[in-house]
Chains A and B, each alone.
Chain A
Amino acid sequence: MQTNTTTAAPRQLPLWVIAVAFVLLVGFLGLIAWGLRRANEGPIRIGDRVPAFTLTTFDGQTIHTDDLKGKVIVLNFWASWCKPCEEEAAALEQSWQKYKAGGEVAFLGVDYVDTEPEALAYLDKFGITYPNGPDLRTQISQMFRIRGVPETYILDQEGKLHSVKIGPFASSAELEAIVDRLLE
């Protein structure tokens, strides 16, 4: 038996639903791509311009790195629970005392994931006088993608990364050799 049948066209979704679903899907994929790209961004390399950031010190002073243009910046990441940080604490302060009067070098201490009472006790213990502040929301350490503490980043007068020291400085002379080269 042969019969001719007419088949009903399959019901389709309205065009606007398809468009919205497509836009949402593309947006979601874009979001994932953006996140992955951010996650895979490498650390700031030597010679790269360091993005500007702000450090709020323990005494409430706000320091913008944009305002330090023309100065060499010694940026030291530390923590009160970090034993190797203690090894270089005195050397850093000694170097700061040397450059402080000249005004050509700025020292910034960034306290990495620490508690304020212990951090203040640490600063007091080693007599550190250059500006120090907490790394709020770990934004500064994330920008530099530090691997631990202590780490010291030295920026030249143009705000470009000049050198990186992973671990503590053995002496103030080691740090001063780098800074003096930039000041020449």
Chain B
Amino acid sequence: MRNTPASWGILQRNTLEVFYYFIKEETIQRMKLFIGILLFTAVLFSLAPGKGFPAQTEPSLAATPAAVTDDQVNAIARELYCPVCENVPLDVCPTQACAQWRDLIRQKLIAGWNEGQIKEYFALQYGDRVLAEPPRRGLNWLVYILPPVIFLAGFLILFQTLRRLKNAPQTDSPASPPTETIDPYLSRLEEELRRREKE
């Protein structure tokens, strides 16, 4: 026989009430809207231009050497990593090699290259590891797709679970005494034991 303590029943009921409060029909609609916004944001983020591996674009007009400022060079250098030092962004790297690369960025800007083309050139010369963000191609897509997909899957599972809890019939109520549910097999067993005791 299994007894359900009254306190447990009350706790369970209170917890369910809290759940129900949060998953009213109105709340469900809001959740759907929230999921929609999340999906839309994820898609929008993955397609945002200027992020990740740059697309080949037409060269812009060439700038004069004086027109290219250190800030412009560093803005691109910040998005690149030193190919020989470990985890050092190019804009703060103190080595001679990094100074050469920053100068190369300046030369490319003077030649009229844009940020995307310069990043592409660096990736071609030194490998994708110099890019601050993995380029969006091949297996690298997993880095961008998996986290939002896993997050959304987790959110949907939580949503479904809460919804199921809401739809489940309430078994405990303070007005009625706790009901005992007996397994038919257990009752047969108890009956058999009682019969044997009598014998």
Binding site for B on A (CB under 8 A): 1-5, 31, 79-81, 113-115, 117-118, 134, 136-139, 142
Contact = CB atoms under 8 A, between A and B. Distances in A.
A74 to B, nearest CB: 23
Contacts of B95: 81
B60 interface: no
A139 B100 CA distance: 21
Interface of B: 83-84, 95-97, 100-101, 103-104, 107, 123-129, 139, 142, 179-182, 184, 187
29 contacts: A1-B180, A2-B180, A2-B187, A3-B179, A3-B180, A3-B182, A4-B182, A4-B184, A4-B187, A31-B142, A79-B97, A81-B97, A113-B83, A113-B84, A113-B97, A113-B125, A114-B100, A115-B101, A115-B103, A117-B104, A117-B107, A134-B125, A137-B123, A137-B124, A137-B126, A137-B127, A138-B126, A139-B127, A142-B127
B124 A2 contact: no
A67 to B, nearest CB: 24
Contacts, number: 51
Contact of A3 (B84, B107, B181): B181
A7 B180 CA distance: 14
A5 B95 CA distance: 77
A81 B93 CA distance: 14
Nearest to A35: B139
The 5 lowest CB-CB distance pairs between A and B, nearest first, are A113-B83, A81-B97, A137-B127, A138-B127, A5-B181
Given A3-B182, A137-B125, 6 more contacts: A1-B180, A4-B187, A5-B182, A113-B83, A113-B125, A138-B129
A136 B121 CA distance: 10
Contacts of B187: 2, 4
Nearest to A34: B139
A4 to B, nearest CB: 6
Contacts of B107: 117
Nearest to A5: B181
A2 B189 CA distance: 14
Contact of B100 (A5, A31, A115, A138): A115
A138 B83 contact: yes
B190 to A, nearest CB: 9
Contact of B182 (A2, A81, A113, A115): A2
A115 B181 CA distance: 79
